[in-house]
Amino acid sequence: MGLPLYPSARRRRRRAASASALPPMSDPIASLRLTYAHATLDEGDVAADPITQFRAWFEAARASQLREPNAMTLATATPDGVPSARIVLLKGVDERGFVFFTDYRSRKGAELEANPRAALVFHWAELERQVRVSGHVERVSRAESEAYFATRPLGSRVGAWASHQSSVIASRAELEQREAEVAARFPGPDVPLPPHWGGFRVSPEGVEFWQGRPSRLHDRLRYVHEGEGGWRVERLSP
């Protein structure tokens, strides 16, 4: 019979057992990597303002026939700093900023009302590019929301009335019942804009353009807003 283990010895055995359960460094996930060599990004090649530069990169993504090049990660946070992120679709961009639409009662809507700041990330993997945007957020006008809402497919307009986004529901059947009720309420093609639905605009204060490069020595150029419509371009270490 072996001698009883003292507490310190038991702890050492538990640590050893835990360490043996860790995946080896040859784990397939750890070994996933690519070498980036598609393009370069130089200060002399970029536009004077980030919106013009973004449009150029966005058109390159569209020309490459990427699926949903307007998909972007939207990161928000509560006033005490609890973050959340999700993928949404860019629906407009001009000198005022980047626009997307949503249910104002959703988690992102509530967080943006309480803490009107956000970050966006576009990732175009095939082009080895990212764009990061950070700035202040405000609702777009009711007229802008109505104009966009009218372009949505009929089913999407009905769905905006049927779904209270981010709220808990008992079942899929409950959601489909709401959809049927809304369709009966608005039997024609003219489904109006719900009062709880509309757009947000992220007005950029900083925009970073990232181009993958070999040896992880990526090109990173950041536009920093300096007021009066002016922008400063600075290079960041990768």
176-209: pLDDT as tens digits:
999 999 999 999 899 999 999 999 999 999 999 9
Residue 16, domain member (yes or no): no
3-state helix, strand, coil in the chain (%, to 5): 30, 30, 35
Do 207 and 130 lie in a common domain?
Answer: yes
> In this structure, what CATH number is given to the domain that contains residue 61?
2.30.110.10
- Averaged pLDDT for residues 47-60: 98
The residues, any chain, with a CB within 8 Å of residue 46's CB and separated by 6 or more, are 53, 209, 221, 233
Report residue 102: phi and psi, to 5°: -165, 175
| Torsion angle (degrees, nearest 10) of CA 87, 91, 92, 96 | -50
The yes-or-no verdict on residue 62 having pLDDT over 70 is yes
The yes-or-no verdict on residue 17 having pLDDT over 80 is no
pLDDT level of residue 25 (50, 70, 90 thresholds): low
The yes-or-no verdict on residue 16 having pLDDT over 70 is no
Do 213 and 173 lie in a common domain?
Answer: no
Do 107 and 214 lie in a common domain?
Answer: yes
- Averaged pLDDT for residues 122-138: 98
Residue 19, domain member (yes or no): no
Domain extent at residue 132: 36-149+197-238
Do 49 and 98 lie in a common domain?
Answer: yes
Strands (E), 39-174: 71-77, 83-89, 92-94, 97-103, 117-124, 129-139
User: What's the confidence (pLDDT) of residue 227?
Assistant: 80
- Average pLDDT of the chain to the nearest whole number: 92
Q: Per this entry, what is the length of the chain?
A: 238
Residue 202, domain member (yes or no): yes
Residue 17, domain member (yes or no): no
Handedness of CA 183, 187, 102, 127 (dihedral sign): positive
- Mean pLDDT lowest among 26-30, 41-45, 99-103, 170-174: 26-30
Q: Which residues are catalytic?
A: 216
Residues linked to residue 117 through DSSP beta bridges, in sequence order: 136
Residue 18, domain member (yes or no): no
Do 124 and 95 lie in a common domain?
Answer: yes
The structural domain count of the chain equals 2
Here the tokens at position 237 are 């270490």
User: Buried (b) or exposed (e) across 158-170, using 16+ Cβ within 10 A?
Assistant: bbbbbbebeeeee
Do 135 and 156 lie in a common domain?
Answer: no
The yes-or-no verdict on residue 38 having pLDDT over 50 is yes
**CA pair distance 29, 31, nearest whole angstrom:** 5
